[in-house]
Amino acid sequence: MKIAVVGATGMVGNVMLQVLEERNFPVTELIPVASEKSVGNKVTFKGQEYVVVGLQDAVNAKPDIAIFSAGGDTSLEWAPKFAEAGTTVIDNSSAWRMNPNHKLVVPEINADVLTPSDKIIANPNCSTIQMVLVMNPLHQKYRIKRVIVSTYQSITGTGVKAMEQMENERKGITGEMAYPYPIDKNCLPHCDVFEDNGYTKEEMKLVKEPKKIMRDDSLRITATAVRVPVVGGHSESVNIEFENDFELSDVRKLLQETDGIVLQDNTDTNTYPMPLYAANKDDVFVGRIRRDESQPNTLNMWIVTDNLRKGAATNAVQIAEYLVEKNLVNHEQLQNA
């Protein structure tokens, strides 16, 4: 397998390389790709150094799979060029997610939609992935009517510039700002840009993407997304109203038995999910499960995951693993091209 990682020198790109190595993905040739200013730099993979190349050189190399984490504009311009060359693209930006001609995939939920003809596959938004992984088994059993989600999102979702802003603020240094206000000792109810309806783009991703992934347009979802001075991962307070009633013990058992979810739900021992302990892990952690006593058939819960791993890199690599396992990559065709 010849694998390109586009955006290999970025925060998510680095984690993608780490996850590919940890999961022993069958990489026979790695092609690290980045913008022109990073061409010639080196990245390390499995103890070996690789020279970063530009996008056109990567297209010419005809990789089997190209995993993108380089921003929407880069994806819109270059993903089709890779696809035309026969490469299967897994894109971590928002560029293709809601395009009806492209699949939006969380492997544990809907990998079965993928076919060999899917040459550009969208990786969902980080905060969407952790929420739908929990929503899906509950929806199958109890039928979800409405979801209210408030997020507490790590600055790592913004990138290196945000990390530098927070570190500068903690050291009393004036520097470049990733946000319009200080982030240390603060919370910003402002993730991504505001849209005409008063919601941010991030909030609307949480509204729209689950419907596509779970194949159910009837889901009613409303969201408030907040950036917090945290590094380890995204947290979500989620309120779910069902058509059918439930027993809390059954809900806990169902989630405990769901692949990719770890239940941390014991108030007697102060056991609940926190980004501090979710960092560098691939699981989605769920706890604080309790009835909403203000109305029937409604549940409250707290969901945490490392947004750079399952929220981005790990989910993308899992898609690649599925493509290889199901023989959905035209490997021979590329080698003979």
Asked whether residue 148 falls in the same domain as residue 256, the answer is yes
Query: For residue 107, is it within any domain?
Result: no
Query: What distance in Å separates the CA atoms of residue 140 and residue 261, rounded to the nearest whole number?
Result: 16
Token pair, residue 217, equals 């347009």
Catalytic residue among 102, 126, 139, 191: 126
Query: For residue 270, is it within any domain?
Result: yes
Asked whether residue 146 falls in the same domain as residue 57, the answer is no
3-state secondary structure of 309: helix
Handedness of CA 223, 225, 226, 231 (dihedral sign): positive
Query: What distance in Å separates the CA atoms of residue 204 and residue 211, rounded to the nearest whole number?
Result: 12
Strand pairing of 120-122 and 234-242?
A: unpaired
Give me the residue label for tokens 């022109």: 36
Query: For residue 41, is it within any domain?
Result: yes
Asked whether residue 175 falls in the same domain as residue 87, the answer is no
Strand pairing of 234-242 and 284-291?
A: unpaired
Asked whether residue 319 falls in the same domain as residue 302, the answer is no
- What CATH number is given to the structural domain containing 43? 3.40.50.720
Query: What distance in Å separates the CA atoms of residue 135 and residue 210, rounded to the nearest whole number?
Result: 9
- pTM value is 0.96
Q: With contact defined as beta carbons under 8 Å apart, do 123 and 66 qualify? A: no
pLDDT, mean of each 10-residue run, the chain (337 residues): 96 97 97 94 96 97 97 96 97 97 98 97 98 98 98 96 97 97 98 98 98 98 98 97 98 98 98 98 98 98 98 98 93 54
Asked whether residue 152 falls in the same domain as residue 267, the answer is yes
Which DSSP helix (H) or strand (E) runs through 218?
A: none
3-state secondary structure of 131: helix
Asked whether residue 194 falls in the same domain as residue 289, the answer is yes
End-to-end CA distance of the chain: 15
Q: Give residues with Cβ within 8 angstroms of 257, minimum separation 6.
A: none
Asked whether residue 70 falls in the same domain as residue 21, the answer is yes
Asked whether residue 295 falls in the same domain as residue 214, the answer is yes
Token pair, residue 106, equals 């969380």
Which DSSP helix (H) or strand (E) runs through 235?
A: strand 234-242
Could you confirm whether 126 is annotated as catalytic? yes
- What CATH number is given to the structural domain containing 136? 3.30.360.10
pLDDT score at 330: 72
Question: Reduced to 3 DSSP states, what percent helix, strand and coil does the chain have, rounded to the nearest 5?
Answer: 35, 25, 40
Asked whether residue 298 falls in the same domain as residue 317, the answer is no
Asked whether residue 155 falls in the same domain as residue 89, the answer is no
Query: Phi/psi at 204 (nearest 5 deg)?
Result: -75, -25
Q: With contact defined as beta carbons under 8 Å apart, do 123 and 316 qualify? A: yes
Catalytic residue among 187, 191, 234, 331: 234
Query: For residue 106, is it within any domain?
Result: no
Give me the residue label for tokens 């995204």: 234
Could you confirm whether 234 is annotated as catalytic? yes
Query: For residue 316, is it within any domain?
Result: yes
Q: Cite the DSSP H helix spans in the chain.
A: 11-22, 55-60, 72-84, 107-110, 126-142, 160-171, 201-213, 248-256, 275-278, 314-325, 331-336
Total domains in the fold of the chain: 2
CB-count exposure of residue 60 (10 Å: 0-12, 13-18, 19+): exposed
Query: For residue 80, is it within any domain?
Result: yes
Query: For residue 18, is it within any domain?
Result: yes
b vs e for 262-278, b when ≥16 Cβ sit within 10 Å of the residue's Cβ? bbbbeeeeeebbbbeeb
Q: With contact defined as beta carbons under 8 Å apart, do 248 and 289 qualify? A: yes
pLDDT score at 332: 58
Query: For residue 115, is it within any domain?
Result: no
- The range of the structural domain enclosing residue 302 comes to 127-306
Q: What is the DSSP string of 90-120?
A: EE-SSSSTT-TTS-B--HHHHGGG--TT--E
Q: With contact defined as beta carbons under 8 Å apart, do 220 and 145 qualify? A: yes
Give me the residue label for tokens 């990567």: 58
Token pair, residue 28, equals 């026979």
Asked whether residue 203 falls in the same domain as residue 156, the answer is yes
Asked whether residue 282 falls in the same domain as residue 190, the answer is yes
Strand pairing of 261-263 and 65-68?
A: unpaired
